[in-house]
Structure formats: structure tokens, C-alpha cells
Amino acid sequence: MTAATDGVQYTPGGLDRDAPFYVAGHRGLVGSAIVRRLEGAGFTNIVGRTSAELDLKNRDDVFAYLAEIRPRYLVLAAAKVGGILANSTYPVDFLSDNLRIQSNVLDAALENEVERVAFLGSSCIYPKFAEQPIREDALLTGALEPTNDAYAIAKIAGILNIQAVRRQYGLPWISAMPTNLYGPNDNFSPRGSHVLPALIRRYAEAVTSGAPSVTNWGTGTPRREFLHADDMADAVLHLLEHYDGPEQVNVGSGSDVTIREVADTIADAVGFDGETEWDTSKPDGTPQKLLDVSKLAAAGWTSKITLEDGLERTVAWYRDHSDAVRV
């Protein structure tokens, strides 16, 4: 692993717009937003492979691919993701798949001398009953939310992988922990999606079918923070150019709403004027999950896309792509 032993110490700063930049997961919600942001910032050599072209769970193939493209920068946005139902039903898949993806990509990045890496995790890494808003130092201070603990453990392992590389090899790799994300190229599957895309599909289909009511899970009282994927992508590029530290950085809007409030906003955005009912026999999940984003603000970045504007844009995208979205 020459990057580990050649004694070179990299420091953050403006990235070379012509250097190879690998975005793992470039077709997903976050990865595609990062590609759009990099293109808008003038990067000319963005590379990636679809899951059909490169299985990131296959270690030999991942090492061979990075040896071929030799990226200077890398964002690890690839992951097996899903909502409460998917995480509760398939915990083995969420743990095993994500551990393998992370280990393979990060080990191959080290072997192939990748200068700057950003590992993207999730706010579910924090304890279920962490003090709100959740600071970065809340990590590993309490029990996790049981409905997604397997996924959370995998993401915590990724953070520790980044910190271990920094300690052992001195490379300025970083981790960013986004809040609940949404936007173009999200997963709108009834069984695999997160709450916001699931709500968009549910209300949009109710409008199309003329259904008089929509039923959502839980009580609608939990509070959640949402961030548009384009904001997340902008934050990731900013951190790569301005932040160098071992602690993960929270990425969010700094404000939250109840699930009931966001459901009402989506209903208005899609033009649904029926009744909304709540199935209280279904789980709510964590009662509140709001990130403390003061570290990110201190690094010079704050969110720009309001929830109302972001939802209108996402609903419009969903309607334009409803025949091709992941279902």
C-alpha cells in the first residue's frame, strides 16, 4: 500500500478539476446529486460504474477497477439503503452488504493511493434517545434504534475505518453523516423506500386513482429533519475542499418537522384533497432525529434549498419519471 508508506501528507484545498474522481454509487439518490454538483463545478473526469457493471461486494473486482482508473478523489455514496420496513425485515443484508462494500472500496482506495476520500453515512448512527439536536460526540454513547441497528452498525464501522486510516497512514480522509435525504433518483418502492419518497408515491397514486383517503404508518408525531440531495452534494464538495478532521461531520438543514406536517405538505404538492389516516399499530421509529450542524456551519456551509421548494421539485421529478423510477 504505497499511499500508506511513501510519507506524503496531503492537506485539503481546491481540488484538481481534471483529476480522476470516482463516485461510488453514482446512479443513486446521493451519488447522482454529487455527479451533478461536480459537473457544475467544472470537474471533467468523473468516473463510475453501475451495480450491474461492478459489484462492489466483490473484493477482487473492486481492487481491479480502482487499479485501472487510479482516482485521485473518491466519494463513497454506494450503500444498501431502505426504510423502516426494509431494515426491519432484512437486517443481515443491510449489515453484510454494507460492511463488504465499505471494506472493499476503502481498502482498494488505500491500495491505489487515493488522496481524498469522503465516506457518507447516516444519522441513524446515533443513539435512539440522543440529546437533541444531536452532536457528533453523541456517537457510541447509547443504544441504537432497533429497527435499523444493523445498518447503523455498518455505517459506524465505516466511520471507524476512516479514522483508522487517518491514524495509521495520515491521509486526510473524512466522513459526513447526512440527515434524511430526498430528491431525484430516490427509491420510491413501497417496500424499500424511506418515508418521504414513500409518501410522495402514496399521495400521487391516490390522486391518479381518485382514492378518498391515504393511510400512513404510525402516529405522525415523530419529528424528522430533511435535506435535498443537491444540498448534500454541495456540502460534500465543500467539506472535501475545506475540512480535515477525524470526527464525522453532520450534514443537515438544522430544522425539523413532524411526519404529519411533511405528509400534509406532500399532499398539497401533489394536489391530494382527501383524508389522511394513521395506522397507529405500525412503528414510529425514533421520536426525534435532528442534527446539530454547528460544525458544518463553522466550516462555512449551510443548506440553501427549503423543504417546500425541494418537495415541489421532487414531486415534479417523480411525475416526469414515474414510468422509470425504482419501484
Q: Is 284 annotated as a binding residue?
A: yes
72 annotated ligand-binding residue: no
Catalytic residue selected from 151, 182, 203, 318:
151
120 is in an annotated binding site: yes
- CA 31, CA 236: separation in Å to the nearest integer? 11
Asked if residue 30 belongs to a known ligand binding site, the reply is yes
325 belongs to an annotated ligand binding site: no
* 29 annotated as ligand-binding: yes
Q: For every residue of the chain, which 3-state class applies, written as one string?
A: CHHHHCCCCCCCCCCCCCCCEEEECCCCHHHHHHHHHHHHCCCCCEECCCCCCCCCCCHHHHHHHHHHHCCCEEEECCCCCCCHHHHHHCHHHHHHHHHHHHHHHHHHHHHCCCCEEEEECCHHHCCCCCCCCECHHHCCCCCCCHHHHHHHHHHHHHHHHHHHHHHHHCCCCEEEEECEEECCCCECCCCCCCHHHHHHHHHHHHHHHCCCEEEEECCCCCEECEEEHHHHHHHHHHHHHHCCCCCCEEECCCCCEEHHHHHHHHHHHHCCCCEEEEECCCCCCCCEECECCHHHHHCCCCCCCCHHHHHHHHHHHHHHCCCCCEC
Q: Annotation-wise, does 194 bind a ligand? A: yes
Amino acid found at 197 = P
**Residue 304 counted as an annotated binding residue:** no
The answer on whether 31 is annotated among ligand-binding residues is yes
182 is a catalytic site residue: no
- 166 assigned ligand-binding residue: no
User: Which three cell numbers mark 202?
Assistant: 402514496
178 is in an annotated binding site: yes
Tell me if 238 is assigned to a ligand binding site.
no
Q: Is 155 annotated as a binding residue?
A: yes
227 is in an annotated binding site: no
C-beta atoms surrounding 182 within 10 Å: 24
Q: Is residue 75 a known part of a binding site?
A: no
Q: Is 199 annotated as a binding residue?
A: no
Task: Kindly give, in sequence order, each residue whose CB lies less than 8 Å from that of residue 41, ignoring residues fewer than 6 positions away.
Answer: 17, 237
Q: Is 282 annotated as a binding residue?
A: no
User: Binding-site residues for substrate, please?
Assistant: 202, 217, 224, 284
User: Binding-site residues, please?
Assistant: 25-31, 120-123, 155, 178-181, 194, 202, 217, 224, 284
Catalytic residues: 151
User: Binding-site residues for NADP(+), please?
Assistant: 25-31, 120-123, 155, 178-181, 194
